[in-house]
Chains A and B, each alone.
Chain A
Amino acid sequence: MMQIIDKRKYFYVISGVLTLASLVILVLWGLKFGIDFTGGTEMKVKFSQNVPNSAAIYDKLKELNLESLVIKTAGDGMVVVDYRNSNDQTNRDVFGKIKELDDNAVQVSTDFIGSTVSSQLKNSAIEALILAILGIALYIAWAFRKVSRPVSSWKYGLGAITALAHDILITVGVFVILGKFWGVEVGVPFIAALLTILGYSVNDTIVVYDRTRENLLKASAKEDFESIVNRSLNETLARSINTSLTVMLVLFALVIFGGESIRYFSVALLFGVTFGTYSSIYVASAVLVTIYKFQIKKA
């Protein structure tokens, strides 16, 4: 049997450092928001022969005075041009300039989001996150409504929510770093990924807690709370890992083979699910024990 609860100090340190670091960089650097939230255009152009280098394209577009213009090469003769703008005419002008570089260039994809739409998207993203957090909290309260001694239901809820906050914060932290150093932008799909993580990661925690509850009811008086929780964790270890592993396997396949448009969406899910599994094993139950001990000390 693995002594998970016994070693919870180490996991608290690991998780605490990761969560805190994520929070700090989130405040310091912030996420790099994509056009979904800022408004603007992302245009993907395929050049017919030699791809001009970014500097040449930049020179060509300079006179249009585009705000926060970013030019990235995307392989396969493709270049992604990214800028903030608020009207459709600019998009035509930009493509017109690109055509001057290569008359056979093709606009393979365009995403243009006006400022009214982007502010609406931002609002609905915030709305969705609040709704999801409320929904999950209510759900946890409902799932653990049958109070069982010696730990009352809200403590399970607190443990589960701590674990979820941990998963979400670390995933956000990963994307702060991806944004800072690799220019990865977050948009609506990222929010969808966070919500999916919320819904999915809580599953593993519920499985562990269910087992803890079951064992508490059956346990002999000799066994203390700590070791019951530890035993429950060990009993459910294989299913916690295997359920997440199958999901992680398909997400790996999506990240590696799934094409560019959904790559970072899959990356977010992969990180979230991975940390979700970690936290339901090493954090959620540990928090339960800590609350329990704190309660005893006070009493």
Chain B
Amino acid sequence: MTLRNKLKTKFVLVILLALIAGLVSYPRVVAKIPPVYNALNKLQIKQGLDLQGGFHLEYNVDLSQVEASKRAEALQALQSIIEHRVNAFGVSEPLVFIKKSGANEVLVVELAGVKDINQAKEIIKETPLLEFKETQVDTSTQIPQETLDQMNAQAPAKAAEILKQAQSGADFSQLAKDNSQDSGSKDNGGDLGMVKEGMMVPEFNKALFDPTFKDGTIYPQVVETQYGWHILKKIATTGSGDTLEVHTAHILIAKATQPSLKTNYIDTGLTGKNLKNASVGFSSQALSEPTVNLEFDAEGTKLLADISQRNIGKPLAIFLDGQIIEAPTVKSALTDGRAEISGGFKTVQDAQALVKSLNEGSLPVPIGDPIYEQHVDASLGQASLMSSLKAGAIGLGIVLLFMIAYYRYLGFIASVALLIYTALMVAIFKLSAFTPWGITFTLSGIAGFILSIGMAVDANVLIFERTKEELRRGRDMMAAVDEGFRRAWPSIRDGNYSTILTSIILVWVGTGFVKGFAIILMLGVVVSMFTAIILVKIILKFTLGRWATDRPWLIVRTKDKKEKDKA
């Protein structure tokens, strides 16, 4: 490959990179091509809490009551309970993690877009509640059988009375409106629409398709079904055989029945704090059958003895955070503080899942009040985002203008590279979500990004100043540009090292604000070395030619005003 061809390939690659970075960072340019736009628009920069609103809470975890060997397990359990709790908010990607802070363990909870911070704090802090509740069948809503019989005794007579009225020519739909107890059809005058054979309960069906039942007539008898007593009217018959359909209407006098039984759950005072341990075991009768074994403390043992005594043969319900998770039936009195739940588990995993829930509910890791809290309302976050983006756009614009005004064509190419830099950075922010090093954009990160825009052209300034010097010394354009790149490199490298060095220190010791700023600044320095040096060099070498060597004034201003005066 000739040098020129190699350069051409590189130049095409630069254009491709610029196009891809541009599309990823600003998909709106292809808004008219929906499939491409939609795919690209799915990539979004992940915004930090200070931009999208939300809060960050930190709690000290008091592990003093937990045995050293069980601490890791306890922390993990704590994390999963809190996750469970914050999931109740339904926010996207709640973040719960434990971090080490000095000698302490700190629980960190980050929730985006939650409005009521105090409610959220309540929900996080409240220790998960494991409760054992007695069950009681509620008979208060039951109707005595006598009353029921009485009610139903009068119904056939009432139905017969209505049938008589219908047969003597009273308006059927008016009768239905006044008397029918079928709430679905009464307002339509009892109209049931088109009915096919077999759609209705047998008694109803038999009457409806009775061949002697003619269109436009009332069925001569009251039809009794499980629902009550029906007076039928056949309005019209259509089709035959399989397509036979009957348009019908009815009036229902409903049968009174017992309402379904309700179970009430009654607090027993036995809660997760009484549970010492829950573990998976195997039934003594059938070894393959998993069981869950519970062990209670002294208070729990006393409570359990009383509760089990009075509930033999009845279920004892287990609630975690107000939701029923299991209701095993008590087989015998449990007096030794131990209980075995058996029979309900198909697999060992089922039993383990229950054990996990039970242990979560009983975990004694108090977290106390928050020691650190940061909360930003979404409205404020968005306002900050808008104003800092505006600042960035204005800053970028001024730098572009300055570079072009001061360095002319060289400055123009540096500006093109700066735009590619900006697009490339945004594309990296978006695409980083697919890597383990996802970048979250915070306000301080934006500040770092904007600062990096100002720093990105530093390399170009150094190169172009050097190029100017070489031109003044009488070198030709192409050689001066080459020399500019070559000789400015050590200064650029050294200068960027020191910024990277302080950024690394900031990332290392810093948290939150500082980290967000330093990571993006550091990334910016690295990426800008690529765009400001490599990209600018390729574009310059490819585009500079005879047209440029003939018009050096267009490429860069070599003489300062004062020197010109002297000359």
Which residues of A are in contact with B by a Cβ distance under 8 Å? 44, 46, 87-89, 91-92, 95, 106-114, 116-117, 120-121, 124-125, 127-128, 131-132, 135-136, 139, 143, 188-189, 191-192, 195-196, 198-200, 202-203, 206-207, 210, 235-236, 238-239, 242-243, 245-254, 256-262, 265-266, 269
Min distance, Cβ B244 to any Cβ of chain A, angstroms = 66
Could you tell me if A250 and B399 are in contact, using CB atoms closer than 8 angstroms? yes
Contact of A199 (CB < 8 Å), options: B58, B406, B465, B499: B499
Could you tell me if B514 and A87 are in contact, using CB atoms closer than 8 angstroms? no
Residues of chain A within 8 A (CB-CB) of B500 are: 199
Q: B107 at the A/B interface (Cβ < 8 Å)? A: no
Interface string of B445-465 (1 = CB under 8 A from A): 011001101110110011001
Q: B509 at the A/B interface (Cβ < 8 Å)? A: yes
CA distance in complex: A131, B50 (Å):
29
Could you tell me if B462 and A109 are in contact, using CB atoms closer than 8 angstroms? no
CA distance in complex: A249, B406 (Å):
14
Min distance, Cβ A193 to any Cβ of chain B, angstroms = 9
B:487-510 near A, CB below 8 Å: 490-491, 494-503, 505-506, 508-510
CA distance in complex: A207, B492 (Å):
9
Could you tell me if A114 and B406 are in contact, using CB atoms closer than 8 angstroms? no
Could you tell me if A124 and B457 are in contact, using CB atoms closer than 8 angstroms? no
Known contacts A106-B377, A117-B58, A206-B491: A257-B498 contact under CB 8 Å: no
B:248-274 near A, CB below 8 Å: none
Could you tell me if B450 and A254 are in contact, using CB atoms closer than 8 angstroms? yes
Contact of A251 (CB < 8 Å), options: B451, B465, B511: B451
Interface residues on B, range: 35 or more
B:523-565 near A, CB below 8 Å: 560
Instruction: Apart from A124-B510, A206-B491, A259-B384, list 10 A-B contacts with CB within 8 A.
Output: A88-B369, A109-B380, A131-B509, A192-B514, A199-B498, A199-B500, A243-B457, A253-B392, A254-B450, A261-B384
Contact of B60 (CB < 8 Å), options: A46, A116, A188: A116
Min distance, Cβ B485 to any Cβ of chain A, angstroms = 14
Min distance, Cβ A168 to any Cβ of chain B, angstroms = 12
Interface string of B364-402 (1 = CB under 8 A from A): 000001111111110110011001101110111011001
Residues of chain B within 8 A (CB-CB) of A128 are: 505-506, 508-510
Residues of chain B within 8 A (CB-CB) of A135 are: 501-502, 505
Contact of A124 (CB < 8 Å), options: B403, B465, B509: B509
CA distance in complex: A242, B458 (Å):
8
Could you tell me if B501 and A88 are in contact, using CB atoms closer than 8 angstroms? no
Could you tell me if A192 and B406 are in contact, using CB atoms closer than 8 angstroms? no
Could you tell me if A257 and B390 are in contact, using CB atoms closer than 8 angstroms? yes
Closest 4 CB pairs of A and B: A199-B502, A250-B395, A253-B395, A203-B495
Scoring B377, B379, B402 by chain A CB atoms within 10 A of each residue's CB, the highest score goes to: B377
Residues of chain B within 8 A (CB-CB) of A252 are: 395
Q: Which residue of B lies closest to A254 (CB)?
A: B391
Residues of chain B within 8 A (CB-CB) of A89 are: 369
Q: Which residue of A lies closest to B397 (CB)?
A: A253
Could you tell me if B370 and A114 are in contact, using CB atoms closer than 8 angstroms? yes
Residues of chain B within 8 A (CB-CB) of A192 are: 444, 506, 510, 513-514, 517-518
Contact of B498 (CB < 8 Å), options: A191, A200, A258: A200
